[in-house]
């Protein structure tokens, strides 16, 4: 088995604000991230898939198929967007990078068979860096 990882970049703005908390509680909890006008990040996303090496092609995954999938369900949806106002999933859900990671995983899973109809490769995990210093990883 081989793990193949592809890295993607997108830039987006967000505001962290939990509807269930008061204005003051939000300011205390999220600090600068609660700024009502929002702020942005250059996100770096790593998508890892796993599979056996096909003896004919020498490949465990076609990176171009993964690129098409990521472009369709992640980059096009999030790049140069305001996550709170332009992405339906974050209307009622705080766009922390934890929740963003879950949303990305959900989108990749949902569209997976459109590019990978066979049993392999399988989606293994994603890793998303909000900044170079804050990194989140979700395994399936």
Partner 1 sequence: MLITKRVDFSASHVCRNPALSDQQNLEIYGADANPHGHGHNYAVEVTLSGEPDPVTGMVFDLKRLKDILNERVVEYFDHRFLNYEAPPFDRVVPTTENLALEIWARLQPALDGRLAAVRVYETEDLFVDYFGGAR
Binding site for partner 1 (CB under 8 A): 1-8, 52-53, 56-60, 62-64
Check whether the bond before 121 is cis (ω within 30° of 0).
yes
Say if strands 2-14 and 39-51 run parallel, antiparallel, or are unpaired: antiparallel
Q: Which is nearer to partner 1, 64 or 80 (CB)?
A: 64
Residue 46 annotated in active site: no
Give the three-state DSSP class for 26: helix
Picking from 104, 28, 126, 108, the residue whose alpha carbon sits closest to that of residue 95 is 104
Q: Provide the minimum distance between the beta carbon of 123 and partner 1 in the complex, in angstroms, as a whole number.
A: 15
For the record, the structure tokens of 92 come out as: 């009622």
Which one is catalytic: 25, 80, 98, 137? 80
Q: Provide the minimum distance between the beta carbon of 70 and partner 1 in the complex, in angstroms, as a whole number.
A: 11
Residue 25 annotated in active site: no
Q: Which is nearer to partner 1, 8 or 78 (CB)?
A: 8
């Amino acid at each position: 088995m081989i793990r193949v990882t592809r890295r993607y970049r997108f830039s987006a703005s967000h505001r962290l604000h939990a509807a269930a908390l008061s204005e003051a509680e939000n300011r205390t909890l999220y600090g600068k991230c609660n700024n009502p006008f929002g702020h942005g990040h250059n996100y770096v996303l790593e998508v890892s898939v796993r599979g056996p090496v096909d003896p004919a092609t020498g490949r465990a995954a076609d990176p171009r198929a993964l690129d098409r999938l990521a472009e369709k369900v992640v980059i096009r949806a999030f790049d140069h967007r305001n996550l709170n106002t332009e992405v339906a999933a974050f209307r009622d859900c705080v766009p922390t990078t934890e929740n963003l990671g879950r949303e990305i995983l959900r989108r990749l899973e949902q569209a997976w068979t459109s590019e990978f109809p066979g049993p392999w490769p399988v989606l293994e995990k994603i890793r998303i860096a909000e900044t170079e210093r804050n990194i989140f990883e979700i395994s399936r």
